Amino acid sequence: EIALVWHRRDLRIDDNPALHEAIAEVGDHGRVVGLFIFDPDILDDGVTEGSKVDFMLGCLRELQANYRRLGSDLLFMYGQPVSSICELAKSINATHVFFNQDVEPFAIKRDRDAKEALQTLGIKVQSFIDIGLIAPDAIATQAGEPYKVYTPFWRNWQSKPKSTPLDAPKQIKGLDHHENLPTIPLPSLRELKFINDITLPKFGEAAALELLTKFCDSNNILRYQTERDLPAHVGTSGLSPHLRFGTVGIRRVWAAAIASEQLIRSEEDQQGVTTWKQELAWREFYQHVLFYFPELATGAYRPQMQNFPWEEDEEKFEAWCEGRTGYPIVDAAMRQLNQTGWMHNRCRMIVASFLTKDLLINWQWGERYFMQKLLDGDLAANNGGWQWSASSGMDPKPLRIFNPASQARKYDPEGEYILQWLPELRGLTTAELLSGNIPPHQCDRRQYARPIVDHNTQQQKFKRLYQECKS
């Protein structure tokens, strides 16, 4: 028997249900080979940037090396996924195809089509829950409905039993013959017609495990509750690109969080671990709601926000993208995003509030820009974060407006983060940096933007428009 394991956002051999089951199913005499398909519809969607593709290629190179080390191979194809997988399955006489499920609407459709087409060829198809600890449709309110509010979701989610991690295989028996397959060698970034101009973090399984261990085996997880909101500190795990591309399994992550409970010595430690688990649950909450309400992907959830009169101001949008708004905490954050492909969560909330409540620009513009730039860019989490920030999503208390100056004073009290990303502001006093209003002559002398809007005026305008839409 020959099994194909179709990898998509699970670029690892450890804790991988599809791979694990493939090996178990075909038994000692069977063969297992991995496959990754470069889908031109995704690559050419106008949102995917070179940095993300470069990161993914690094992960794929490592995954292929792992397959080869264990005795098999990871094959690559370029093309429409359903016809590609059918073509390969036929040419290697595959008897089974295994993959891990996704929650994004387009992926659900692709997988359904692939399953149908493969079954027509007489190939057995099995898919597994891997994107989260709890399948999106395995959790419901007492009335049997999908959740729309996080807190009751969390209460139910945390009480559900979670699977333990699956060990990496020790051996994978591969195909005897590789000749004349419709596959390609792993393409380079240039061959895929992308360029990347940022320095990437370490990619691959080993790097993900290193981050996880560093975070959970130390005081980092115990101090998470207090440190996680301070963007100048390394107070969060940095695992998000790895969770996005699946270079670490979610069961492995959960097991590490549980193991860290041994280190708990105080109420604060306990709070640290619980809060981190709650963030993992936020990730699954957004997967759950996207699964049940796929319309979230294309517009505001709350009807009153569907016709909000957003201003289509390209110039202000560009200033926001490039970190030239004249609000230091916003600009620092946007430069962190542009230069590293990652942004601290507190800052994601600040810049998203600023775009929507201060610049009155449609959150979908911001959502798209984040998807372009973030290495962890993920439809469920990104859309959830943006709809929350724009007051358009599933939020029982939707009207939140962040004041950038008070956010900076609270979460970057020494201005360390601001100065790290805006070196042109070095030499200003901390009070000036955090005032939200750098004196115009200082802006000009340092070639730093003067504020492009007035926060107080804009927040009043937003509130007025919001009330009008509500009524």
Does position 247 bind ligand FAD by CB under 6 A?
A: no
Nearer CB in complex with ligand FAD: 26/280? 280
Contacts of 2 (CB under 8 A, 6+ apart): 26, 30, 31, 32, 33, 92, 93, 94, 95, 96, 175
- In whole angstroms, give the CA distance from residue 118 to residue 96: 9
Nearer CB in complex with ligand FAD: 175/200? 200
- Catalogue the active-site residues: 279, 282, 310, 345, 363, 386
Binding to ligand FAD (CB under 6 A): which residues in 373-402? 374, 376-378, 381-382, 384-386, 389
The answer to whether residues 37 and 81 touch, using CB atoms and an 8 Å cutoff, is yes
Does position 334 bind ligand FAD by CB under 6 A?
A: no
- The reply, when asked if residue 127 is annotated as ligand binding, is no
Strand partners, 35: 6, 75
Nearer CB in complex with ligand FAD: 53/75? 53
- In whole angstroms, give the CA distance from residue 104 to residue 287: 8
State the number of binding residues for ligand FAD (CB under 6 A). 28
Q: Which residue's structure tokens are 């989490």? A: 381
Nearer CB in complex with ligand FAD: 62/376? 376
Does position 422 bind ligand FAD by CB under 6 A?
A: no
The answer to whether residues 5 and 33 touch, using CB atoms and an 8 Å cutoff, is yes
**In this chain, which of 183, 236, 247, 336 binds ligand FAD, going by CB under 6 A?**
236
Q: Which residue's structure tokens are 């609407």? A: 105
- The reply, when asked if residue 281 is annotated as ligand binding, is yes
**In this chain, which of 349, 360, 394, 425 binds ligand FAD, going by CB under 6 A?**
349
Q: What is the DSSP string of 219-288?
A: HHHHTHHHHTT-TTS--S---HHHHHHTSS-HHHHHHHHHHGGGG--SHHHHHHHHHHHHHHHHHHHHHH
- In whole angstroms, give the CA distance from residue 127 to residue 310: 41
Does position 227 bind ligand FAD by CB under 6 A?
A: no
> What x/- string results for residues 123 through 162 when contact with ligand FAD is judged by CB under 6 A?
----------------------------------------
The answer to whether residues 175 and 2 touch, using CB atoms and an 8 Å cutoff, is yes
Does position 192 bind ligand FAD by CB under 6 A?
A: no
Rule CB under 6 A: which residues touch ligand FAD? 228, 236-240, 243-244, 279-280, 282-283, 286, 345, 348-349, 352, 370, 374, 376-378, 381-382, 384-386, 389
